[in-house]
Structure 1
Amino acid sequence: MEDVDMVMASLENALASTGGFCVGRSYVVGHQRLSGLGYCFSASLPPLLATAASEAIAIIDEEPDRVQKVTKMSIEGQKKLENALKGSKFVLQGCPESPMKHIYYDGNDEEKNLDKLVDTVFNDSHLLLTRARYLDKDEMFKVRPSIRVMFQYDLTDAEIDRAVEAIGSAAH
């Protein structure tokens, strides 16, 4: 903590909730505590999301092997998706251990080609992909358009292989 003023993390993608935490030296935490009082109730976490996050933590505590399984699925799935997209203008990015990956288009008309990939996968294979959408006018820095792909605990190897094959086929 000597080289960094503050460390922050979000629970949004990790636990399908909102909120997070920040830690730092006492004067930084004091500033956050005193300056953030107005936000404590106006932007507080809804009870339903707090309960969902709490339950997710309880499930992880009870079954820690779930985390290892998703991590393994994510690493193997990333390799499969990268191979399926080879030779196309679509590229995959994401931390190998993270269950969330982004598919980007390297070329002109990124959004048009990403939408076309989503439509083709749905029409040909009846699988639904999700475009990551942002409010460009509200973003300080424009976010690159992408398709968001998630690996989940309950997916089977056959389901993952089917999805990878459909995405690769549509990309080419």
Structure 2
Amino acid sequence: MPDRLPVIVVDDDPGQLRSAVRLLEIEDWSVTGIADLDEAARVLVEHTDPFVLILDHDFERPDGQTGLDLTRLLRSAHPWGAVLPICYWSGRIDGSSFLTALRTGHMFAPSCYIAKGGKVSVAEVAEQADAAFRRFEATFEQQALRRAVLGLDSAIPVDDDLTDLLDEDADHDVLAENR
């Protein structure tokens, strides 16, 4: 089985939370369930590795905080925040409300939306989110390597073995001409 990102499900409905965790475990995902929005914020901000977040929108809270507040926090404070797969999973917010959140939340918006009880399962969404993150990760690694090789970012060290390899590469002359 290929490595997968762990999945974290945050929902204040105990039945929904148990159901999602059980379904993901059956599909061989490493999964953690968290029932409290404040606990999720504390745990997830300090969790520096990437993960797939399946997040409820509405929480029965007197302060009115929602899943979007946790999304904003993670997008700004987590090391992988900009590309962290955050999937809204809600029975109260509909697709058009999700699109509004995307328009008004800009980079803080969730990555996707699924309806509780809908045709798409949390396991399918986790699989798609994991695959999308892996594509982003590969692209970022390629970009960082390209910047390092071309000397565009002095903060990224270039391995001497890699530089020697490029000196022998016929394409190196083309790269040098394009600088």
TM-score > 0.5 by shorter chain: no
What's the TM-score, normalizing by structure 1? 0.26
- TM-score (normalised: structure 2): 0.26
Structure with more of its chain in strand, by fraction = 1
